[in-house]
Structure 1
């Protein structure tokens, strides 16, 4: 197959194609458990090796590659290369020899060690397996095709990025949304969307990228990992979330239906180390402490969020209905793609956490967590509402009868994530009430009619 070289990033990104032609080097891996040793073929130095700081690579080439991939220069050395297995995979082979579970193997392992395919179940069929003739050559040629396609896409990225930079320099602005001309702003915005798509498709067929993602080693700085994470979330967790929110009437009892944009997870410190599923019934002793939050975003720009927890199932005896009780508000939560865990010390606690304390015979209460995106990435502050005048922020933060719809509209917030759990009265509830000074709760009973006059009123 002829060598495919693009004019933009020649010599570095396509260097791995020449590396394959240079030959293979053999590495002996010895197993620590059964002293089994075998010769495993590894490729020659790859793209990740060529940009090592010890090697002499022009800074301009490194900057151009980083610009094409949408990352910093220092992130290039950690990026999984097309022809070089991850260091994690190499160490795992060295430690375990050939006793690698089928689900932990990468395509590179099967190619070098010549293991039977994972689809073969019986030991007899595995022993009878023979490595197909020409598979090594076909695999290397396939990698060459992927590399050529990758090169062409990165060349297009650089051309489109140059066009955006030209428009920004012409209007002397730093961001696309600051471009005054509507037509030029639309052109630059569409180009930025195409750049993101090209960066994803350039790496989506990289076997090592898929292996790193499945192993939980994703780096959200790169668009391909953000794309894979969002795709997995939309196919699994988001479907479960929306099913629970609608089937248990969280929507529309609190807010109208919405389209989730972030993956919100919660857990409670000290007692549960895993993230809980939406709608799970928890003990009041477990939920006595404020939960920990994980907000996974699928964008490269950090944003500010507000977290609200409320109980829509508080009995309202005067109106023979239910009302909302505010339990927690955490504002100015800064989240990046690589750091989804919420650091409460860096945020602003508007309303302290009030632990759930359902009253006896009041049924299960839903404790709903809403995540709102703050407008413009600015700190949360009360804004002027059209036709309504200024709103007193103290009235918005009252726990009893909290109006989440008014709170959202007054601050111009956008709902992007949701979660909830359930609590009922249990053996720990009275202890929680006493510890936090909440006083004795009510005990609800059904009214029983003793005489016929009671029915007549």
Structure 2
């Protein structure tokens, strides 16, 4: 059977392929209609339909705002405003080319939907529950803030080497400028605090508190694990249009940053960043907060931080986590930064049932006291034995 070799002809009026005309007419820094009117009638009809629908929804929105009788909630009006712009080609082009104005609800909606539906939030929640951050650190969380971590700009001191992470290579954080949740970052790369980026989706400024917690510090008293507070920054003002970089030059930490230092002999440690909404401005003193044994739940309850929104269907706050395991750089952190002797943990020693109370194994044949002497066995032959031997010889 012969394969047809006919080439598809371009639509009438096109002397070049459609893709070449689009690339030739589109501007890289400013949106422009990719095809002139009349070049492709189907495209003209589609654009006209979208613009007509958008104009009708704008008219309806203006009419409802003038009435303002309370029949529609602010959320329903916001939804109608987004629907009136979301399908416009210019809006879509601006969003895809990162030329959006986040003061406009339609761009905030598109940005949030991209975060929620394109896999980033799904991967974060998978790691949070798979690695038991919930419920080990917090009972529940429904993130409403896109939190990202950047270690690429941190500087490693000269006295700290960068050893190979003792985990499989596929679990390393390959891109330190945008760390994947749950991946491994060497303690040598986190000596300085990371650059934390937080993208919120509400237009008005709101206050947040940043917490960094390690829930995997050994507790010898309970033979279990306990929390360690590495970092605490309150009163962080964030809005959709503001720069989401959380900088210590702009915000003063209540608890200064202490780098991750997973102890020798322990499994990997989880380092959890929490960005929790505040109800009001906080005044925190470092003397009132204890790093070791820090209780997230009681701290949030005491200072009015929202771990989860009161409405079960709503979201609040943000979360991020990465992992680290002991390597040689931790020893330098203990020596030069913490200025503490480095502890070492491991499995408990096996009990030997043959050891005494002093930890000594008793001898199999105990020694007698010096004044006790055992008599050597007698070699004297009794008369009866002598007569028996004489009878055997003479027989």
TM norm structure 1 = 0.62
**How many Å separate the matches in 1 of 2:39 and 2:139?**
55
1:88 to 18, 29, 44: 29
Trace 1:102-121 onto structure 2 (pairs within 5 A). 108-109=33-34, 111=35
CA deviation string 1:344-389 (max 9, x = no partner): 33323110001111111112111111110111xx31247xxxxxxx
2:187 to 279, 284, 306: 284
Contact 1:334 1:347 in 2 (8 A): no
Trace 1:156-195 onto structure 2 (pairs within 5 A). 156-164=60-68, 187=70, 190-195=72-77
**How many Å separate the matches in 1 of 2:196 and 2:55?**
39
Report how far residue 86 of structure 1 moved: 5.7
Contact 1:200 1:223 in 2 (8 A): yes
Trace 1:208-219 onto structure 2 (pairs within 5 A). 208-219=90-101
1:430 to 331, 337, 350: 331
The aligned counterpart of 1:270 is 154
Establish whether residue 197 from structure 1 lines up as the match of residue 79 from structure 2: yes
Report how far residue 398 of structure 1 moved: 0.9
Contact 1:265 1:293 in 2 (8 A): yes
2:103 to 212, 216, 221: 221
Q: SS at the partner of 1:401? A: coil
Report how far residue 161 of structure 1 moved: 2.9
**How many Å separate the matches in 2 of 1:455 and 1:307?**
53
The aligned counterpart of 1:328 is 231
**How many Å separate the matches in 2 of 1:224 and 1:233?**
14
Sort the Cα spacing of 1:41 and 1:394 in 2 relative to 1 into closer, same or farther, 3 A.
Answer: closer
The aligned counterpart of 1:348 is 252
Q: SS at the partner of 2:249? A: helix
The aligned counterpart of 1:301 is 204
**How many Å separate the matches in 1 of 2:356 and 2:39?**
86
The ranges of structure 1 where at least 4 consecutive aligned residues each deviate by more than 6 angstroms after the TM superposition are 37-42
Q: 5+ residue gaps in structure 2?
A: 1-19, 156-174, 308-316, 360-395
Greater fraction helix: 1
Larger Rg: 1 or 2? Answer: 2
Contact 2:154 2:190 in 1 (8 A): no
Contact 2:254 2:286 in 1 (8 A): no
**How many Å separate the matches in 1 of 2:22 and 2:182?**
52
Report how far residue 430 of structure 1 moved: 1.5
Q: CA RMSD in A?
A: 2.9
Q: SS at the partner of 1:293? A: strand
Report how far residue 87 of structure 1 moved: 5.5
Q: SS at the partner of 2:328? A: coil
The aligned counterpart of 2:346 is 445
Report how far residue 215 of structure 1 moved: 2.5
**How many Å separate the matches in 1 of 2:238 and 2:249?**
13
Establish whether residue 358 from structure 1 lines up as the match of residue 242 from structure 2: no
Contact 2:266 2:346 in 1 (8 A): no
**How many Å separate the matches in 2 of 1:41 and 1:265?**
37
1:260 to 143, 154, 178: 143
**How many Å separate the matches in 2 of 1:155 and 1:410?**
48
Report how far residue 394 of structure 1 moved: 5.6
**How many Å separate the matches in 2 of 1:227 and 1:346?**
28
Report how far residue 249 of structure 1 moved: 0.5
The aligned counterpart of 1:243 is 126
**How many Å separate the matches in 1 of 2:239 and 2:41?**
42
Report how far residue 290 of structure 1 moved: 1.0
**How many Å separate the matches in 1 of 2:342 and 2:125?**
33
The aligned counterpart of 1:234 is 116
2:281 to 374, 379, 385: 379
Number of corresponding residues: 308
The aligned counterpart of 2:47 is 143
Sort the Cα spacing of 1:40 and 1:308 in 2 relative to 1 into closer, same or farther, 3 A.
Answer: closer
Contact 1:333 1:348 in 2 (8 A): no
Contact 2:213 2:231 in 1 (8 A): yes
**How many Å separate the matches in 2 of 1:156 and 1:191?**
15
CA deviation string 1:108-145 (max 9, x = no partner): 44x359xxxxxxxxxxxxxxxxxxxx762232232222
